[in-house]
């Protein structure tokens, strides 16, 4: 039925933006990366600003020359630059890929046009200008995405280069000492141990950077699943940690069936990273590691005493560089990020509780076997 009055598309967007954003966010939720903690607010972020900027553009007089420039992607994007950039930065933080962002903009375009068509109104010129405007926001958002990802890549390479200088210097100095002290067995053993420790630090940093690059650019942590016992794995990792940190008091307890189909090397990274985090950031005192079975899953927790993590910091704790190398341990601040990526790849979950007086506990929940594909 034809409406009694004609409503331009710009005014329709202004009056129905809540309905449009609701339909758009429902689709955006289907694009969320596995393990994402995005809230409804995160999904809707900047969508209203983008729609209002587009509506304003539709209500602004436009000459034939300006329209021609827009159709060629040469129009002014001043009114939509801020919202497009902020949207891109928010999606980068939640590990959206360029393809997922493009799908979001397709969904936003489709939501507007579908709802407008249902309303019975017709505004051919407005639809044309709307497509031009949303293309401008899309171009700005994708440009910002590319700039930010390039910046992250450059930052990580710079950090890695800086952090590798010290262990490489130790290797060079150690090699020189070995050559000069071939007859001093004790000294040679100590120097050899330093070289081995430095080489292991380098290997961990490079491995973390490769995992970071893979996950941040849309890939997934590769797994080699096999039947294994998490309790036995924890014992082996604890032995390595106690050797590297003889002053650390680490206690382990296990109960129930701790077997499952997991990647043992990757889970060793998780346990090692969580322990390293507890040693580096916790106060002197016992660190408690516990593993137990729970309703078809296996739960692992690592607890340490010390000052609580501020609630504001907890929201970004699993992001790269969130804590960094405050203690000069050779870490590049990727331990918790990599731990979350590995747990997520196993179909599990990882979280943190940190309160004054009770300390900090990281908890990992792992399903015993991979989910059956639908």
CA distances to 25, 79, 196 from 308, in Å: 34, 43, 34
Kind and range of the H or E run holding 229? strand 226-229
Going by their DSSP bridges, the two strands 259-262 and 297-304 should be labelled as unpaired
In angstroms, rounded to a whole number, what is the distance separating the alpha carbons of residues 155 and 6? 53
Domain with CATH 3.30.565.10 in the chain: 226-367
Domain with CATH 1.10.490.70 in the chain: 1-219
In angstroms, rounded to a whole number, what is the distance separating the alpha carbons of residues 293 and 368? 10
pLDDT greater than 70 at residue 73: no
pLDDT greater than 80 at residue 43: no
Residue 140: the pLDDT is: 85
Query: pLDDT higher for 14 or 82?
Result: 14
pLDDT greater than 80 at residue 239: yes
Residue 140 is classified by DSSP as: H
In angstroms, rounded to a whole number, what is the distance separating the alpha carbons of residues 240 and 250? 11
Q: What value does the mean pLDDT take over residues 296-322?
A: 85
In angstroms, rounded to a whole number, what is the distance separating the alpha carbons of residues 13 and 51? 7
> CATH number of 1-219: 1.10.490.70, 2.60.40.730, 3.40.50.300, 1.10.3470.10?
1.10.490.70
**Does the domain spanning 226-367 belong to CATH 3.30.565.10?**
yes
- Which of 3-7, 133-137, 178-182, 188-192 shows the lowest mean pLDDT across its residues? 3-7
pLDDT above 90: percentage of residues in the chain: 19
Highest mean pLDDT among 161-170, 330-339, 346-355 belongs to 346-355
What is the three-class DSSP state of 330?
coil
């Amino acid at each position: 039925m034809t409406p009694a009055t004609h409503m331009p598309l710009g005014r329709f967007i202004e009056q129905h933006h809540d309905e449009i954003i609701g339909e758009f966010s429902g689709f955006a939720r289907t694009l969320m990366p596995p393990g994402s903690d995005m809230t409804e607010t995160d999904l809707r972020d900047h969508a209203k600003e983008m729609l209002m900027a587009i509506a304003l553009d539709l209500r602004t007089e436009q000459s034939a020359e300006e329209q021609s420039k827009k159709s060629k992607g040469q129009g002014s994007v001043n009114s939509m630059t801020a919202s497009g950039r902020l949207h891109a930065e928010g999606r980068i933080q939640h590990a959206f890929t360029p393809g997922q962002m493009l799908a979001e903009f397709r969904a936003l375009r489709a939501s507007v046009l579908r709802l407008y068509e249902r309303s019975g109104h017709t505004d051919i010129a407005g639809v044309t200008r709307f497509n031009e405007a949303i293309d401008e926001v899309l171009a700005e958002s994708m440009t910002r995405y590319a700039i930010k990802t390039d910046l992250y890549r450059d930052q990580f390479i710079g950090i890695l280069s800086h952090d590798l200088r010290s262990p490489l210097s130790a290797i060079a100095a150690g090699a020189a000492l070995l050559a000069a002290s071939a007859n001093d067995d004790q000294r040679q053993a100590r120097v050899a141990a330093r070289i081995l420790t430095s080489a292991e630090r380098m290997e961990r940093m490079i491995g973390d950077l490769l995992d970071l690059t893979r996950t941040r650019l849309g890939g997934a942590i590769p797994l080699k699943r096999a039947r294994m016992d998490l309790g036995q794995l924890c014992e082996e990792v604890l032995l390595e940690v106690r050797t590297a940190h003889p002053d650390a008091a680490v206690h382990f307890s296990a109960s129930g069936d701790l077997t499952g189909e997991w990647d043992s090397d990757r889970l060793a990274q998780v346990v090692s990273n969580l322990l390293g985090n507890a040693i580096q950031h916790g106060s002197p005192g016992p660190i408690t590691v516990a593993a137990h079975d729970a309703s078809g899953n296996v739960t692992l927790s690592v607890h340490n005493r010390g000052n609580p993590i501020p609630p504001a910091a907890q929201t970004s704790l699993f992001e790269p560089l969130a804590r960094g190398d405050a203690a000069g341990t050779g870490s590049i601040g990727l331990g918790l990020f990599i731990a979350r990526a590995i747990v997520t790849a196993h179909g599990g979950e990882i979280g943190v509780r940190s309160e004054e007086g009770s300390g900090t506990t990281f908890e990992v929940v792992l399903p015993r076997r991979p989910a059956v594909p639908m």
